Homo-oligomer: A and B are copies of this chain.
């Protein structure tokens, strides 16, 4: 996969915010769980499966969590996070990086609420321990190919911040071979 080191550089296909968001939105379709990676106090990336929001992606991802969880304390200590999801059957792999913060937003919680979350928060959005993790995605990459030979890369950070073409995100490692 990303062992690739030869090939044609990926075209900057997603150079503006809306296109990049639309592409990520499409990639998320049908995905129920992702891995959320935080960085712990010892500097180790740590991952755990999280339910992926089932509302339309608009550049920000939201997760429910408990205030007292390890990931909450990691995010308070270090905002840098990564989200991955994969559909190994389709050989589709997505990695998105961004900054996370804990947000108490009752209205947003109601908007995102799904009976599925009752398993963790029996009291629903009124659960006093419930909080939201808000992740603003800054850059993302995806790979899709039966033979692992393809990479499309798109950077959101600059496009989102400035409306300009993202630069400095792609490198020779992220390749499009087909």
Contact = CB atoms under 8 A, between A and B. Distances in A.
A47 B84 contact: yes
A54 interface: no
Nearest to A2: B48
Given A1-B51, A4-B120, A50-B2, A69 B39 contact: no
Q: How many copies does the complex hold?
A: 2
Interface of A: 1-6, 32-33, 35, 37-39, 42-51, 63-66, 68-71, 78, 80-82, 84, 86-89, 93, 95, 97-98, 117, 119-121, 129, 138-139, 141, 143, 147-149, 171-174
Contacts of A98: 44
Contacts of A138: 44
